Structure 1
Amino acid sequence: MRKVKIEDYKRSQIPEDLLEELFRNDAFKLFVPKDYGGLELDLKTAGQRITETSTHFGGLGWVLNLGAGANWFCGFFDPDAAKTIFTPERTVVAGSGAVGGSFKAEDKSVLLNGSWGKCSGAAHANYFSLNAKNADTGEVSSFVVPRDSVEFSEDKWEIFGLKSTSSLSINLTDVRVPQEFGFHINSIKNHFDYNVFHIPFEQFARVCMSSCFIGIAQCFLNTLHAEQIFNSDFETITNSLRQKISSAIQNRDAIAEKIQDQSKEGFLSKRLQADVRTGLGQANMLIFDEIQQVFKTADLALVEEDKLSHWAYRDVMTAIHHYMIKI
C-alpha cells in the first residue's frame, strides 16, 4: 500500500485507492466461507490481518475490522440468502449494534422503521445490519438491508479521531425486506463445520476489536519513528510501549486459539469468557497508558497538526473508547 498522508486522516471516508487494496485481497471476507468467495480464515490469522491493516492506517483497519466482522454474520442466514448477500465480490456490511427501530412481520417479508447511528464504513457498504424490536411482541431481531433502501442522515458525527471511517447514521421508513434477510447471531444456518461461526459474539468481537487497537497503537509508534520525534532517544523512550504491544499480540494470538479450540465443543467455559475480557482489555489499557506517557514526553511535538503522529494519536484516543476494547 502507498504511504498514508495527513489528508487521508482528515477525510470523511477512506481513500478509494486504499479501499481497493482491501477488495483486491478479499479482506472484507476474512470470515466468509470459500463457497461464497471468502477466505474462511481461523480467528488468530484473521486477527493478525486486522492488526496488519490497522498498523498501516488506523481508519483503514477500523473499517476492515467492522466490515469483516459484520460479514461474519453470513453464517447465520439460510444458505440461499447467504449466497445472495455475501457472494458478490464487493459485499461489505456496515451497521449499528443499537436497537434503533421496530419491525412488523408480514407475509414472507418484514417492514422496518427507525434510525441507527455510527455505522462505520457506510460510504462503501452495500448492506446495513441493524437490530429492531417486533412492534407486536417486543422481541429483538437482526436484519440486513440493501444500501438502496437506506436514507442517510444529514447529521454528521464530528469525531476527534478515526475521521475517515464514514461512521454515518441511517434512517428507514417503511422499508420492506424478505424474511430471509433476518438473522439471529450464533444461530448457525450454513457451513456448520466452520469453527469460527461457533464462537460466541462477544468473544469474537473482543478479539477483532483488540486486534484493531493493537494495530492502531503500532501505527502511532511507527509515525513517531518516521518523523523522528525523539531522534536518537526513540528506542529508549518507546521501549516499554514496544514491549507492551509485542506482549499484547502474543496474548491475542493465544486467546484466539483457545477460543476457537473450545468453540469446537460448542461452548466456552465461564473462566475463558472472563479471561478474554480481562486479558485483552488489560493488555489494551497497558498500551494506552504507555502511549500517554510517550505523549507527555514529546512536549509540544504531538499537538502540532502538521505531523502524522498527531493524527495517529487521535485515532488511539478515539479507539480506546469502544467498550469492546476496554475491560
Structure 2
Amino acid sequence: MVRRAAAIVPVLRAHAAWGDEHRRLHEAALEAMADAGVLRLRVPAEHGGHEADLATVVGVIAELARGDGSAAWTAAVWAISTWVVGQFPDDVRCEVFAKPDVRVTGILSPTATAEPVGGGVLVNGRWAFSTGAPQSHWTANAAVLLPDRTPVALAIPLVDLEVVDDWHTTGLRATGSVTTVAQDVFVPAERVLRLAPVLRAHPHATAPMFRAPFMPAACATVGAPAVGLARAAVDAARGSASPSGLREATVLADEAEFHARRTAAVVDLKAVDGEEWTPEDRAGVRRDLGEACLRARDAVDVLVGDDPALHRIQRDVHALNLHAILHPNANLERYGPVFPGGRQDS
C-alpha cells in the first residue's frame, strides 16, 4: 500500500497548484488515490477494504503529503470516517460500502439535533470544517438526540445536506473543508448510532482496527500529513537550499516521522490483544502528535524560499499546526499531568 501511494506522488504534485487555486482536489488526484486503493484503507475487509493497520495508514498518508498536503489531509479524514461507518449495523455498512471507493467525510462534534420521529430522527443543524464534503458521497456526522441530548453518530448521504462554500483559507485550500447543513433531514433509525460506544475500544472485536479507541487511532492518522509535508519541503529544496539548512530540515523531518510512527506502533501493538488504554498511554499519543507537527513545521520553515511549491507546503503545514487536535501547545498540555513529576490537577 505504501509503495502504491508513493507511485502516485507525481500525479498529486502535478495537480496540487490547481487544487490550491480551485479549493478542491483535481479529478486526476481522486482517480489516482482510488486506483492505488487509498480510499479503502480503513474499509472492513468483508466489504472489499484493506482493513489496514495504523502503521500502513500513517505510511500511506505521509506519502500522499509528499505530493499534496490537501490530498493527504482529505484522505486521512476519509479513512477515519470510513472506520466510523464500519461500526454501524450490517445493512448500513452494506449500503454505504456498496459504492466502490466510497468517500465518507464526517464531523464528530455534535453541533446538530436529532429529534425522534416515526422510523428514525429528524435532523437540524450545521457542521463546520467538513473536509472534502463537496467531493464526498456520505457523512458520518454527530448530533445530540433529543430530548436527553445523548450524542449520536449519523450516516447521511451528502445529497441530503446543503453544502455552504465557506472554506477560504491560506492553507490546505484544496481540502474543501466547508460547512454542511441539515434542515429537517430524515435519517432512518438504523443509521443512528450512539456515539459513546463508537469512541471506545472494542477489545474483543474480530478486526484489530476496531480494538483501538477512536482518539488514538484518529491522532495517528491526522498526524501523518505533517510528516509528508516535511519530506515534500526537503524534496523541493534540494539544489536550492544551503547544505546546512537541508541537513537541519532533514533531521527535523526524521524526528517528525519518528513521533508519528511511534504513535502508530503503540496503537497497533495494543490492538493485537485488545490491551487496555491508560491515561499515560493516551497522553503519550497526544505528546507524539504535537511533537510530529511541531518538528514538521520547523523543518519546512528552515527551507522556505521563493519557490511557489515551498510556499504552498509552508501554508499547509502551518494550517495543520493550528488545528485544535494537532496544535503542539495543546498536546503538550495534555501530556503535562502524566509527565513524571507533573501536577496531577493540571
When the two chains are superposed, the root-mean-square deviation of aligned CA atoms in Å is 2.0
Partner of 2:223: 210
Task: Indicate conservation of the 8 Å contact 1:251/1:280, yes or no.
Answer: yes
The aligned length equals 312
Q: Does 2:198 correspond to 1:194?
A: no
Q: 1:104 to 1:29 in 2, by over 3 A?
A: same
One-letter amino acid of the counterpart of residue 238, structure 1: L
Alpha-carbon separation, structure 1, partners of 2:205 and 2:61: 24
Q: Does 2:282 correspond to 1:282?
A: no
Partner of 2:5: none
Partner of 1:111: 122
Alpha-carbon separation, structure 2, partners of 1:262 and 1:187: 14
Task: Tell me the CA shift for residue 170 of structure 1.
Answer: 1.2
**Partner deviation per Cα, 1:146-200 (whole Å, 9 max, x = no partner):** 12211112x42211111111111111111111111122324689x9211111211
Task: Indicate conservation of the 8 Å contact 2:227/2:293, yes or no.
Answer: yes
Task: Tell me the CA shift for residue 126 of structure 1.
Answer: 0.5
Task: Tell me the CA shift for residue 209 of structure 1.
Answer: 1.1
Alpha-carbon separation, structure 2, partners of 1:62 and 1:211: 8
Partner of 1:31: 42
Task: Indicate conservation of the 8 Å contact 1:205/1:324, yes or no.
Answer: no
Task: State the secondary structure of the residue aligned to 2:125.
Answer: strand
Q: 1:216 to 1:293 in 2, by over 3 A?
A: closer
One-letter amino acid of the counterpart of residue 323, structure 2: H
Larger mean CA deviation between 4-13 and 84-93 belongs to: 4-13
Partner of 1:324: 325
Task: State the secondary structure of the residue aligned to 1:97.
Answer: coil
Partner of 1:246: 254
Residue number among 74, 77, 82 corresponding to 1:71 in the alignment:
82
Task: Indicate conservation of the 8 Å contact 2:256/2:295, yes or no.
Answer: no
Task: Indicate conservation of the 8 Å contact 2:122/2:185, yes or no.
Answer: yes
Partner of 2:280: 271
Report sequence identity in percent: 21
Alpha-carbon separation, structure 2, partners of 1:137 and 1:212: 38
Task: Tell me the CA shift for residue 145 of structure 1.
Answer: 0.6
Q: 1:26 to 1:244 in 2, by over 3 A?
A: same
Task: State the secondary structure of the residue aligned to 2:50.
Answer: coil
Task: Tell me the CA shift for residue 12 of structure 1.
Answer: 1.4
**Unmatched segments (≥5 aa) in structure 2:** 1-7, 332-346
Task: Indicate conservation of the 8 Å contact 2:134/2:163, yes or no.
Answer: no
Task: Indicate conservation of the 8 Å contact 2:23/2:173, yes or no.
Answer: yes
Q: How does 1:96-107 map to 2 (within 5 A)?
A: 96-107=107-118
Task: Indicate conservation of the 8 Å contact 1:77/1:181, yes or no.
Answer: yes
Task: Tell me the CA shift for residue 65 of structure 1.
Answer: 0.6
Q: Does 2:260 correspond to 1:259?
A: no
Alpha-carbon separation, structure 2, partners of 1:196 and 1:258: 13
Residue number among 171, 183, 189 corresponding to 1:179 in the alignment:
189
Partner of 1:40: 51
Task: State the secondary structure of the residue aligned to 1:76.
Answer: coil
**Unmatched segments (≥5 aa) in structure 1:** none
Task: Indicate conservation of the 8 Å contact 2:257/2:292, yes or no.
Answer: no
Alpha-carbon separation, structure 1, partners of 2:201 and 2:282: 20
Task: Indicate conservation of the 8 Å contact 1:161/1:317, yes or no.
Answer: yes
Task: Tell me the CA shift for residue 254 of structure 1.
Answer: 2.9
Alpha-carbon separation, structure 1, partners of 2:299 and 2:79: 29
Q: 1:290 to 1:216 in 2, by over 3 A?
A: closer
Task: State the secondary structure of the residue aligned to 1:99.
Answer: coil
Task: State the secondary structure of the residue aligned to 2:205.
Answer: coil
Task: Tell me the CA shift for residue 266 of structure 1.
Answer: 4.5
Alpha-carbon separation, structure 2, partners of 1:77 and 1:243: 42
Residue number among 244, 252, 260 corresponding to 1:236 in the alignment:
244
Alpha-carbon separation, structure 1, partners of 2:110 and 2:27: 31
Task: Tell me the CA shift for residue 286 of structure 1.
Answer: 2.5
The TM-score normalised by the length of structure 1 is 0.89
Task: Tell me the CA shift for residue 284 of structure 1.
Answer: 2.2
Alpha-carbon separation, structure 2, partners of 1:110 and 1:224: 53
Task: Indicate conservation of the 8 Å contact 1:186/1:198, yes or no.
Answer: no
